[in-house]
């Protein structure tokens, strides 16, 4: 929110001195307005007669007065240097203002110039300069740059209300620092404070997914949407208690599945097994909902569309029956999902589309653990509902899935536009969403996945045993509640 005094300065931008010995009545009117609002200052205002006299302090005092804030003014017998016409006075009265370390929109800036001292109001930072709006800047009210190194003080008026948050700079490839680290934390990528290729890819992917221009530059609009994302994540509605999550992660880390060597893929990344276990627990909490039924309904017998029918021989070999709707069928489906994730992405939550493929439209570009694309949404209306749920609440255990995975900048980018691009971003940012939406898709359109069609996905008892343990955790915690 723009401070009222800065709005007042913006309103008089363009006001300038009259040439020669003439005076601009608008500048003298500032003096009169201050005297009218604060009669005890009238004698001091009356000392100002001509706009050839430096008027930067007068302009700031006028704008403060328009915001119902008394300008800096110590009564007699204090010297004139303790009153608003002197730039230094704005930095030397602790009763009037608070010295701050970082510039805030509208704060008072006292700086040194070749002519002495100057007082103005802060607008933004660019490079080594504070750009400030004030009076007597080349004889007018305008925005001018002042070297940061010459700053005497940044001041916030005590009667100015809450300070806005510190300004965050525009960021791009090659930048470093805490603001870069903040972007990395929000986007759930490795935090090192270095805006490199991975950060650039994550920013571009976020921008595309959120309907922004995907230029890889973090400007005002991108910061604004990053704040929206950060707030959604902060609310933390995973559907699981902290105790449940701790118990499930411990189960996963000590399970036989954690060290299982998958055919042609080897062991899963450390976080993959824990992430899949947590996602299964979330699926369990949906019991009784249409989304749960779409995943856990009995084998339909339709081999062309239903993965449980297509994989019936493999399930039978394991001794797993899917003839009854419910948790057992859901668990068996999740065992298949675990194998599919290893086959499609080697358990990499951030996997992007196959770069050798030409499917770069928003609907056909693959994304995430299972290399699912958004055109799967036509298989069931529940997929769209799951998307809406996770878009509003993108809690998808990305920190767990990310353990042991180093994302690449290219794979974090997204393709096309519209909802399909948002899907690609969400599938990677909230891997639990990828799990649930793919689980539904497998029940209606199993031919979407090549490894499924070729029966390359492994079903292993180690997965079934882990997920049984997850069931027990949820049942016990539910009973304690």
Report the alpha-carbon distance of residue 32 to residue 9 in Å, rounded.
16
Average pLDDT over residues 433-461: 97
- Asked whether residue 39 falls in the same domain as residue 84, the answer is yes
Residue 53 contacts by C-beta under 8 Å, 6 or more apart in sequence? none
Q: Are 81 and 142 in contact (CB under 8 A)?
A: no
CATH number at 77 reads 3.90.1720
User: Residue 478: its pLDDT value, please?
Assistant: 57
**Is 166 contained in some domain?**
no
- Asked whether residue 256 falls in the same domain as residue 221, the answer is no
**Is 231 contained in some domain?**
no
**Is 406 contained in some domain?**
yes
Report the alpha-carbon distance of residue 261 to residue 346 in Å, rounded.
11
Using one digit for the tens of pLDDT, what is the confidence trace for 345-402? 999 999 998 777 777 789 999 999 999 999 999 999 999 999 999 999 999 999 999 9
- Asked whether residue 222 falls in the same domain as residue 262, the answer is no
Neighbours of 390 (CB within 10 A): 22
**Is 171 contained in some domain?**
no
Average pLDDT over residues 214-218: 95
- Asked whether residue 73 falls in the same domain as residue 39, the answer is yes
Percent of the chain beyond pLDDT 90?
87
- Asked whether residue 385 falls in the same domain as residue 286, the answer is yes
* Owning domain of residue 146: 4-157
Q: Are 352 and 413 in contact (CB under 8 A)?
A: yes
Across 114-232, the runs of DSSP E, i.e. the strands, are 116-126, 129-137, 140-147, 151-157
| pLDDT tier at 479, thresholds 50, 70, 90 | very low
**Is 167 contained in some domain?**
no
- Asked whether residue 282 falls in the same domain as residue 414, the answer is yes
**Is 172 contained in some domain?**
no
**Is 169 contained in some domain?**
no
Q: Which residue has the higher pLDDT, 463 or 234?
A: 463
- Asked whether residue 208 falls in the same domain as residue 255, the answer is no
Burial category of 122 from C-beta neighbours within 10 Å (exposed 0-12, middle 13-18, buried 19 and up): buried
- Asked whether residue 306 falls in the same domain as residue 211, the answer is no
pLDDT at 480 over 70: no
| pLDDT tier at 481, thresholds 50, 70, 90 | very low
Average pLDDT over residues 405-431: 94
Report the alpha-carbon distance of residue 381 to residue 322 in Å, rounded.
23
- Asked whether residue 219 falls in the same domain as residue 355, the answer is no
Q: What do you get for the CA distance between the two ends of the chain, in Å?
A: 44
- Least Cα distance to 125 among 155, 159, 151, 93 occurs for 151
- Asked whether residue 388 falls in the same domain as residue 352, the answer is yes
Report the alpha-carbon distance of residue 167 to residue 396 in Å, rounded.
30
CA angle 52, 54, 60 (to 5 degrees): 130
Number of domains observed in the structure of the chain: 3
Report residue 108: phi and psi, to 5°: -80, 130
Using one digit for the tens of pLDDT, what is the confidence trace for 134-169? 999 999 999 999 999 999 999 999 999 998 877 788
- Asked whether residue 445 falls in the same domain as residue 304, the answer is yes
**Is 457 contained in some domain?**
yes
Question: Which of 194, 226, 258 lies at the terminal end of a domain, its last residue?
Answer: 226
Say which range, 21-35, 70-84, 160-174, has the weakest mean pLDDT.
Answer: 160-174
How confident is the prediction for the chain on average, in pLDDT?
94
User: Residue 236: its pLDDT value, please?
Assistant: 66
pLDDT at 181 over 80: yes
Across 240-385, the runs of DSSP E, i.e. the strands, are none
DSSP letters for 422-467:
HHHHHHHH-HHHHHHHHHHHHHH-GGG-HHHHTT-----HHHHHHH
Q: Which residue has the higher pLDDT, 127 or 336?
A: 336
Using one digit for the tens of pLDDT, what is the confidence trace for 225-283? 998 999 888 876 788 999 999 999 999 999 999 999 999 999 999 999 999 999 999 99
- Asked whether residue 144 falls in the same domain as residue 266, the answer is no
Report the alpha-carbon distance of residue 125 to residue 181 in Å, rounded.
19
């Amino acid at each position: 929110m723009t401070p009222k005094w800065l709005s007042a300065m913006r309103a008089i931008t363009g006001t300038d001195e009259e040439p020669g010995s003439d005076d601009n009545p608008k500048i003298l009117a500032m003096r009169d307005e201050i005297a009218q609002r604060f009669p005890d200052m009238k004698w001091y205002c009356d000392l100002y007669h001509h706009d050839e006299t430096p008027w930067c302090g007068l302009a700031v005092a006028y704008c403060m007065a328009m915001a119902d804030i008394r300008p800096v003014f110590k009564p007699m017998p204090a010297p004139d240097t303790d009153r608003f016409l002197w730039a230094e006075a704005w930095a030397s009265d602790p009763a009037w203002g608070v010295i701050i370390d970082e510039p805030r929109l509208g704060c008072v800036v006292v700086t040194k110039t070749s002519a002495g001292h100057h007082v103005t109001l802060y607008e933004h930072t660019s490079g080594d300069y504070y750009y400030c709006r004030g009076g007597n800047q080349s004889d007018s009210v305008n925005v001018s740059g002042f070297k940061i190194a010459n700053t005497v003080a940044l001041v916030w008026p005590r009667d100015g209300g809450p300070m806005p948050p510190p300004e965050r700079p525009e960021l791009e490839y090659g930048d470093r620092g805490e603001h870069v680290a903040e972007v990395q934390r929000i986007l759930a990528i490795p935090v090192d404070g270095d805006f490199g290729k991975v950060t650039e890819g994550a920013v571009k992917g976020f921008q595309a997914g959120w309907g922004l221009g995907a230029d890889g530059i973090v400007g005002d609009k991108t910061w604004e949407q990053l704040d929206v994302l950060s707030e959604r994540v902060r609310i933390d509605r995973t559907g699981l208690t902290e105790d449940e999550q701790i118990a499930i992660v411990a189960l996963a880390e000590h399970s036989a599945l954690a060290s299982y060597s998958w055919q042609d893929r080897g062991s899963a990344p450390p976080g993959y097994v824990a992430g899949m276990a947590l996602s299964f627990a979330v699926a369990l909490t949906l019991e009784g909902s249409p989304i749960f039924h779409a995943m856990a309904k009995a084998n339909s017998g339709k081999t062309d569309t239903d993965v449980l029918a297509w994989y019936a021989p493999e399930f039978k070999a394991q001794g797993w029956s899917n003839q009854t709707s419910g948790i057992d069928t859901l668990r068996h489906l999740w065992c298949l999902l675990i194998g599919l994730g290893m086959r499609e992405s080697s358990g990499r939550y951030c996997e992007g589309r196959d770069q050798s493929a030409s499917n770069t439209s928003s609907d056909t570009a693959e994304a995430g653990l299972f290399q699912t694309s958004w055109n799967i949404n036509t298989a069931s209306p529940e997929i769209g509902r799951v998307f809406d749920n996770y878009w509003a609440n993108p809690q998808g255990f990305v920190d767990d899935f990310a353990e042991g995975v180093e994302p690449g900048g290219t794979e974090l980018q997204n393709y096309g536009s519209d909802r399909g691009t948002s899907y690609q971003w969400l599938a990677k940012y909230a891997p639990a969403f990828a799990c649930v939406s793919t689980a539904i898709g497998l029940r209606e359109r199993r031919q979407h996945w090549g490894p499924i069609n070729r029966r390359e996905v492994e079903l292993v008892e180690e997965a079934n045993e882990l997920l049984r343990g997850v069931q027990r955790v949820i049942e016990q915690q539910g009973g304690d509640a």
